[in-house]
Amino acid sequence: MTGKDHARAALVIVDVQNDFCPGGALGVRGGDEIVPILNEYASRFSQAGLPVYATRDWHPEQTTHFQKWGGLWPPHCVAGTSGAAFHSELKLPRQTIVISKGTQPEGDSYSTFHGWDYDGLPFVDSLRRHGVRHLYIGGLATDYCVLFSTLDALSQGFAVTVLLDAVRGIDRKPGDSERALGKMKEAGADTATLEFIHAKLAEVSGANPAKASRH
């Protein structure tokens, strides 16, 4: 990948919230293990002058996403609760753009493309505002929000690289995460790890004068 391509890249950290980490209402096994790795990604993207996004489920108390109202899941990430907060050790750069999704009482809204920033700007419009064409995606969970975010990004013409060392899955059925990775690759996503990203960002560090602003 060329420096020009990387200058239009952004990091997307998906749903690294307390309720999705061990001990949470819908804890992903090993979900907290990716936090230090994501911190490294966030630091390196920020230092290279590239946007960093952090998404969060931000559900109402009553939603069809929850089992009580016909959904798959126990209550989790209810807006304003400690369970909905980002993991305490997740070190987001000051200019991180937070995207909230799942805010409506109907629908699952797994994809980041169903979310908005603090000003109510849809995620896709925020990407376009910052000239982003390539998303580097990590977070929770591989087989749901990472999967749906990746597929939506690809369908809208974005390039996607899934960060293999910075994702973990729920695996409601054994093998769901591996199957999800297969679907993402079949749809056109690439994969990478921190070592690869470090080398690529070193090529373009400081090449992008535009800085993402927090909304």
145 included as an active-site residue: yes
Selecting among 15, 32, 57, 165, the annotated active-site residue is 15
First to last CA, the chain: 29
Task: Judge contact between 51 and 212, C-beta under 8 A.
Answer: yes
Selecting among 32, 57, 77, 101, the annotated active-site residue is 101
Rounded CA-CA distance 52/179 in Å is: 27
15 included as an active-site residue: yes
3-state class percentages of the chain: helix first, strand second, coil last, to nearest 5? 35, 20, 45
* Type of residue at 12: V
Task: Judge contact between 139 and 172, C-beta under 8 A.
Answer: no
21 included as an active-site residue: no
Rounded CA-CA distance 73/164 in Å is: 25
Selecting among 143, 145, 165, 200, the annotated active-site residue is 145
> What are the start-end ranges of the H helices in the chain?
3-6, 35-47, 123-129, 147-155, 176-187, 194-204
Task: Tell me the two tokens of residue 21.
Answer: 């980490």
Catalytic residue positions? 15, 101, 145
